Amino acid sequence: MLKITNLTKSYGQLLAVDHIAFEVNEGEIFGLLGPNGAGKTTTINMICSLVKPDAGNIELDGLDMHQAGDTVRKHLGVVPQEVALYEDLNAIENLRFWGSLYQMKKQELKSRIEQLLEVTGLTERAKDRVKTYSGGMKRRLNMAVGLIHQPKLLLLDEPTVGIDPQARHNMLDTVKDIAKEGTTILYTTHYMDEAEMLCNRLAIMDHGRILAIGSQDEIKQIVGENRLLRVMGSFDKLIAESLPNKLKELALISIAENEVVYSLPVEYGTGEFLETLIKSGFEIDNLSINEPSLDSVFIKLTGRELRD
Ligand SMILES: Nc1ncnc2c1ncn2[C@@H]1O[C@H](COP(=O)(O)OP(=O)(O)OP(=O)(O)O)[C@@H](O)[C@H]1O
Ligand SMILES: [Mg+2]
């Protein structure tokens, strides 16, 4: 549906987006995951023609975005990172205003507004002025605005930043509902858990570049599919250190007085590991197993953790 090739943008000396390429398939939620300054918003702004690329192509359904212009752009909806609403108007008036810009017919607009207020859970507050809304409500209305003209592709730029956990949860549910109704979504975030919860496929972006792209499973394979096994309890330190000699797939990560961490490839069951521990005289108080995650991929690719 969306095909990006060689997309590039510099600001002076800074390469904000550095020759990136990716495709978003119809019906999926595609994630663009990266820390502050990665180039996510610049990418979104180039797709919706707010920023002119230095080079590269953007195609929607096989049509070049810049040549085909408005006929293509009307299939695109954008929810900007910064909320853009009229605070003195209510939700219906805001939606009516944006809908009229797309020359929607009165009746069509009316029923679309009702539907979107329902989807975003704003029906009850629809006649209150936006300035009386919570941050989460404003973000949901911002999203409804992006959807007013029934775009095929919705660009969502960090829709959950700055809202409380409950509102964030609601927002993620709403995004899933929108996708289920058939809207394809390009979703940017710097929250790993959101990418894990929502996205069919994703790209990891840092310093303007795409470092990895694929399904979650494909991306997790980058870390070599190791589980981290953290054992707490009492044990003989020398024996604990020599355990990888007994179970050769095991690697020692760290060891302290009452805690030792090993890694084990996911294809080996943890049963044999537990048996080896017990036979070696471990008294286990607690055991935690961490599956490979997008977090560990990001650390491996960039040497940093993904934080604000
Ligand atoms: N108009 C501009 N002028 C100069 N530099 C800019 C401009 N817009 C963005 N940049 C720079 O380009 C880089 C990418 O910014 P961008 O806003 O695309 O990142 P982002 O991934 O959206 O980050 P965030 O998570 O903070 O929103 C940053 O280093 C930013 O400072
Ligand atoms: Mg941004």
Can you spell out the DSSP letters for 278-293? Answer: HHTT-EEEEEEEE---
Q: 240: CA distance to ligand 1 center in Å?
A: 48
Backbone angles phi, psi at 270, to 5 degrees: -85, -10
Same domain assignment for residues 143 and 259: no
Among protein residues, the one with the nearest Cα to ligand 1's atom 7 is 11
Average pLDDT over residues 5-26: 96
Residue 71 lies in a domain: yes
Residue 184 lies in a domain: yes
Same domain assignment for residues 67 and 140: yes
Same domain assignment for residues 167 and 252: no
Same domain assignment for residues 248 and 196: no
Q: State the closest ligand 1 atom to the C-alpha of 45, by its place in the atom list counted from 1.
A: 18
Asked if residues 144 and 95 have their Cβ atoms less than 8 Å apart, the reply is yes
Mean of the per-residue pLDDT values of the chain: 90
* CATH number of the domain to which 57 belongs: 3.40.50.300
Same domain assignment for residues 59 and 116: yes
pLDDT at 248: 86
Compute CA distances 60 → 5, 68, 196, 219, whole Å.
12, 10, 26, 25
Among protein residues, the one with the nearest Cα to ligand 1's atom 6 is 11
Compute CA distances 293 → 219, 272, 273, whole Å.
9, 23, 21
Site to probe by mutation for ligand 1, drawn from 10, 18, 41 as the one with most ligand atoms within 8 Å of Cβ, is 41
86-139 pLDDT per residue, tens: 999 999 999 999 998 888 899 999 999 999 999 889 999 999 999 999 988 999
Site to probe by mutation for ligand 1, drawn from 8, 11, 160 as the one with most ligand atoms within 8 Å of Cβ, is 11
Q: Which residues line ligand 1 (CB under 6 A)?
A: 11, 14, 16, 34, 36-42, 81, 190
Instruction: Label residue 204 exposed, middle or buried (CB < 10 Å: 0-12, 13-18, 19+).
Output: buried
| Cβ neighbour number for residue 97 with a 10 Å cutoff | 14
Bridge partner list, 59: 3, 64
Q: 12: CA distance to ligand 2 center in Å?
A: 18
Same domain assignment for residues 30 and 127: yes
Confidence of residue 304 (pLDDT cuts 50, 70, 90): low
Confidence of residue 305 (pLDDT cuts 50, 70, 90): low
Average pLDDT over residues 260-286: 89
pTM of the model: 0.80
Same domain assignment for residues 209 and 68: yes
- Spatial separation of the C-alpha atoms in residues 178 and 150, rounded to whole Å: 11
Q: 17: CA distance to ligand 1 center in Å?
A: 9
pLDDT tops 90 at residue 291: no
Confidence of residue 287 (pLDDT cuts 50, 70, 90): very high
Among protein residues, the one with the nearest Cα to ligand 1's atom 18 is 39
Residues 6+ apart with CB under 8 A from 38: 190, 205, 206, 207, 208
Q: Which ligand has its closest atom nearest to the C-alpha of 17? A: 1
Site to probe by mutation for ligand 1, drawn from 18, 36, 307 as the one with most ligand atoms within 8 Å of Cβ, is 36
The residue range of the domain holding 247 is 226-291
Q: State the closest ligand 1 atom to the C-alpha of 38, by its place in the atom list counted from 1.
A: 21
Residues 6+ apart with CB under 8 A from 57: 3, 4, 5, 6, 7, 64
Residue 179 lies in a domain: yes
pLDDT at 306: 62
Range in 12-21, 43-52, 58-67 the model is least confident about: 58-67
Same domain assignment for residues 284 and 143: no
Among protein residues, the one with the nearest Cα to ligand 1's atom 27 is 36
Average pLDDT over residues 221-225: 67
Q: 177: CA distance to ligand 2 center in Å?
A: 24
- Spatial separation of the C-alpha atoms in residues 129 and 91, rounded to whole Å: 7
- Spatial separation of the C-alpha atoms in residues 51 and 152, rounded to whole Å: 21
Closest alpha carbon to 56 in 15, 86, 117? 15
Same domain assignment for residues 237 and 131: no
Q: Which of the pair, 274 or 227, is modelled with greater confidence?
A: 274
pLDDT at 307: 56
Number of domains in the chain: 2
pLDDT at 308: 46
- Spatial separation of the C-alpha atoms in residues 142 and 161, rounded to whole Å: 13
